[in-house]
Amino acid sequence: MLIAEDREQLVRALRQVVLPRNLCRFADSSLIRPASHAELEIQLAAWLRAKDPDLLQEGLTNVLYWRHQLEGAGQDDIYDFRAGLRRWSLVDALRLIDWLDGPGLVSLEHLGLPVFRDLFTLSTLRMLLDPGRYTCLRPLHLQLAALPGRSVLHDFRSEGGHWPVSLLNETCYERWNQLCRLLGAEFEPAWRAADVERALGRLIQDGEGEFVLRVLDLAESLRRL
């Protein structure tokens, strides 16, 4: 279990996280600023789970817009997605999202949606569909693979600098989510998986990579119990 000092460090890190605050209606380019990120997540999930292809398109575009605000890059992805999207792929996506269970990255990638082809973009979509159980995997998380040690973040595999969706990487992604859920259960009330991931990401940004690896190792030991 986490000791009190570890919990306090994670709490401080989560308080310092700055999350995207805007949504956009791309049909008329109007900006929406919810009162909180929690309300943003609710609105975005409603679009993603709507039975209307036009609302789903708005939701998927805003997944990319969310990443653009978070990472400070990827604006071209928004235009590439909307220019390359075909309506039949939205219909297929409606059906898949309706019954999606588990990590689902391979199934989502098979939809062939423009831009939604790599580990980072698809994990963002999966997180925004269910932040309680799933997380956004970011390049900064995988930077820890450069540090000595063994962790799930060391096990993801890239191909020529690209992080593809593969059965191996989906398995690693599910394990990463399990660890975040286990760490979240150490708090009262329990944190969501996405909140744990955000706190760990902030710690990595602050140069606390060794602490993050130690906490993940503890979560691995809990997972094996």
Kind and range of the H or E run holding 172: helix 167-184
Full-model pTM: 0.95
Percent of the chain residues past pLDDT 70, beyond the cut:
100
Structure confidence by residue, pLDDT tens digits, 22-67: 999 988 889 999 999 999 999 999 999 999 999 999 999 999 999 9
Supply the angle between the helices 167-184 and 193-205 in degrees, to the nearest 10: 100
Instruction: Say how far apart CA 149 and CA 101 lie, in whole Å.
Output: 31
* Residue 30 dihedral angles phi and psi, to the nearest 5°: -85, 140
Mean per-residue pLDDT over the chain, rounded: 94
C-alpha–C-alpha distance, residues 113 and 141, integer Å: 25
List, for residues 134-183, the tens digit of each pLDDT value.
999 999 999 999 999 889 999 999 988 889 999 999 999 999 999 999 99
Q: Which residues, including other chains, have CB under 8 Å from residue 111's CB and lie 6 or more apart?
A: 89, 92, 93, 96
- The answer to whether 167 touches 155, Cβ cutoff 8 Å, is no
Residue 50: how many CA atoms within 13 Å on its side-chain side?
Answer: 16
Q: Give the per-residue pLDDT at 80.
A: 95
Q: Kindly give, in sequence order, each residue whose CB lies less than 8 Å from that of residue 48, ignoring residues fewer than 6 positions away.
A: 56, 59, 60, 63, 97, 125, 128, 129
Q: Name the amino acid, one letter, at 138.
A: R
pLDDT of residue 225: 65
pLDDT of 224 above 80:
no
